[in-house]
Amino acid sequence: MNPFPLALAGLRHRRGTALALALLVALGVALGVGVGALERSLRQGAARAADAFPLIVGAPGSPTQLVLTAVYLQPDTVTLVPGGVLTRLAADAQAAWVSPIGFGDRWRDKPVVGVAPEFVTLGGRRALAEGRVFAAENEAVIGTAVPLAMGDQLIPAHGLAHAGADEDDADTHHHGDSPYTVVGRLPPSGTPWDHAILVPIERVWEIHGLGNGHAEGAERIGPPWEAAQGIPAVVVQPRDFPGAYALRARYRDAQSNAVFPAEVLVSLFRLMGDVQAVLSAMAMASAVLVLAAVFLAFSGLVAARSRDFAVLRALGAPWRFVLAAVWLELALVLLGGVAVGLGFGWLGGWMAADALGRHARVAVTVAPGWDEVLLALAVLVAGMLGALLPALVVWRRPPGEALKR
């Protein structure tokens, strides 16, 4: 038995209808696949971004804002945590290392961020892609997306730097006195930090006319800071697990707030999960609607070919041949639609993730995942089982009637 030529003949003869149907299926599948892939990749991208930030201490207020400031370099209304908190943290026995995060200037649209040398290497955990850690106040380590080379010099413009800020709306006087020299480059992290220029926090304080954070006359880089100034956030690497909780408890008071970014992100994801649930419910509903439309169209397709099927039966085709021919025709439409939909879904998810990621300077990579393949397979199997229905209907009608018409 060979029902293929017949199924293909049906598709060829009604290629417009078949194509429209396949596209409809593709649309439904693409919607579900795209939403799923996008959500998953956003979650992964966000979680990756929090890797370098075990504990963040900032001014009392919104934990979400603190995470946005430190992890995503999006300071909104920055309330500073007093320098005394940094001094205490740097001396805390339960902290392996601490680093202030201070915003000062920017170069082009790249924020210049003041940190401690320990943050550059994450206390030895992170190897530089190029060069070395800054060792003097006029040296800088750049993120992977900063278009400068080792040995290049840069003169930042003053102004509160934040991603996407317009060059004109900031107070752009130059600090011509001493430029920074690029001495190192961070490996890519897929976060806004890829666009940052890391300089010693001491220099940031000085530019604001606050001294260098150390005792009079000292020209060191890094802790301890005897005369630390206010900063938007402090990153703290706890020595151990109990230490992490002890630190968080100790620095939650009237002066400061301490949060685990991972924890904050989880609650954000929970919120995002709700949004995602709504989105996938919508995607599901539209997929169901599309499938329903497809079945209506299938019945139409089968009705339009009922004479052909009656002819087959008059010629003595066995029931399995008629069944296979009807089913194959519908299955080919479904298969084409699902395959195209899977591709479109991933492409759409990827483009949306890319656009979102570029906006937030977070690298969001949509990788094809099994979840979407399973969804597509589920649609395919449901559709192929459903396609048996019209095929069975065809068999149950006596062939004589259709021939007399």
Ligand X SMILES: Nc1ncnc2c1ncn2[C@@H]1O[C@H](COP(=O)(O)OP(=O)(O)OP(=O)(O)O)[C@@H](O)[C@H]1O
Report CA-CA distances (Å) from 279 to 37, 265, 274, 283, 347.
Answer: 12, 20, 9, 6, 18
Question: In a 3-state reduction of DSSP, which class is residue 130?
Answer: strand
Whose Cβ is closer to ligand X: residue 173's or residue 405's? Answer: 405
**Least distance from C-beta 3 to ligand X, angstroms?**
27
**Least distance from C-beta 10 to another protein, angstroms?**
6
Interacting residue ranges for ligand X, rule: CB under 6 A? 401, 404
d(CA 41, CA 18): 34
156 binds, among ligand X, another protein, none (CB under 5 to 8 A by kind): none
Interacting residue ranges for another protein, rule: CB under 8 A? 1-3, 5-6, 8-14, 307-308, 311-319, 321, 398-400, 403-404
174 binds, among ligand X, another protein, none (CB under 5 to 8 A by kind): none
Whose Cβ is closer to another protein: residue 269's or residue 321's? Answer: 321
**Least distance from C-beta 16 to another protein, angstroms?**
13
Angle between helices 261-304 and 319-360 (to 10 degrees): 150
Question: In a 3-state reduction of DSSP, which class is residue 356?
Answer: helix
Whose Cβ is closer to another protein: residue 52's or residue 394's? Answer: 394
**Least distance from C-beta 7 to ligand X, angstroms?**
28
Whose Cβ is closer to another protein: residue 217's or residue 398's? Answer: 398
Q: Please, where are the H alpha helices in 122-238? A: 201-207
Whose Cβ is closer to another protein: residue 314's or residue 367's? Answer: 314
242 binds, among ligand X, another protein, none (CB under 5 to 8 A by kind): none
Backbone φ and ψ for 2, nearest 5 degrees, come out as -145, 85
> What's the CA angle centered on 113, arms 110 and 118, to 5 degrees?
130
The radius of gyration of the chain from alpha carbons, rounded to an integer in Å, stands at: 31
**Least distance from C-beta 290 to another protein, angstroms?**
26
Whose Cβ is closer to another protein: residue 9's or residue 272's? Answer: 9
* Cβ-based neighbours of 113, under 8 Å, separated by 6 or more: 73, 101, 102, 103, 104, 161, 196, 197, 198, 199, 204
**Least distance from C-beta 389 to another protein, angstroms?**
19
For residue 100, give the nearest of 272, 6, 231 by alpha carbon: 231
5 binds, among another protein, ligand X, none (CB under 5 to 8 A by kind): another protein
6 binds, among ligand X, another protein, none (CB under 5 to 8 A by kind): another protein
Q: Please, where are the H alpha helices in 145-260? A: 201-207, 241-250
